[in-house]
Amino acid sequence: MTAYASRTGTRRNLAALRGAGWRLLVSARGVLRHEGFPYAIDNGAWTAFQKDEPFDVPAFEKAVEWGGSGADWLILPDIVGGGIESLRVSMEWAPRLQGVCPLLLAVQDGMTIADVAPLVGPGLGIAIGGSTEWKEGTLAAWGALAREKGAYLHVLRVNTCRRIDLCRDAGAHSFDGSSVTRFACNLPLLDGARRQLSLLNGAPHASSS
């Protein structure tokens, strides 16, 4: 299971992340640098939500132009907690971004498996967002859908060993978090959790580092 840390410029933390084989998640609302790491691009909707601001289209487009072609994947624009309206917005953007890099659809509170199932597959993966309670309550179902459709599965904002366990048992390919970005001392514990054997399949998930 591949781990992404929110981008940081702190040398000590970058050195620790590099040594553990983590990658960086670069936000469209942050500094557009990948520090020599493999990276993915977040659309910046979470930052806009936290600041009670509208989605920053120019910042997102700038991020795509900056690093879209070299990204592992990018998350389509969405609305945090926006349900079906978020799905509509994401799918309006999808044709414009096709071919840039692998795309992920952020699923949010209010979306159902039936809403998303016709859209995802090898060409469009799933990023599980939404509220913590909703995310944890639906993670297994999204994992089952991803396996059925052959879709990539990423889980957003994962900062504890327990949540890493949930991601692994749902069959997630990757997760991201900010805990190790802010506190390098948390890395050994969280990295150890992602490398543990899955209780469901009895085999370790490989790290694509």
Give residue-wise pLDDT tens across range 132-158: 999 999 999 999 999 999 999 999 999
Give all strands (DSSP E) within the chain, no chain letters: 2-6, 23-27, 39-42, 74-75, 103-107, 124-128, 153-155, 174-177
d(CA 4, CA 17): 9
pLDDT value for 197: 57
d(CA 125, CA 130): 16
Residue 32 has pLDDT above 50, yes or no: yes
Residue 102 — pLDDT band, cuts 50, 70, 90?
very high
Q: Which of 27-31, 50-54, 193-197 has the lowest mean pLDDT?
A: 193-197
User: Three-state SS for 147?
Assistant: helix
pTM over 0.85? The answer is yes
d(CA 121, CA 183): 35
Residue 108 — pLDDT band, cuts 50, 70, 90?
very high
Domains of the chain: residue spans and CATH: 2-195 (3.20.20.70)
d(CA 39, CA 75): 12
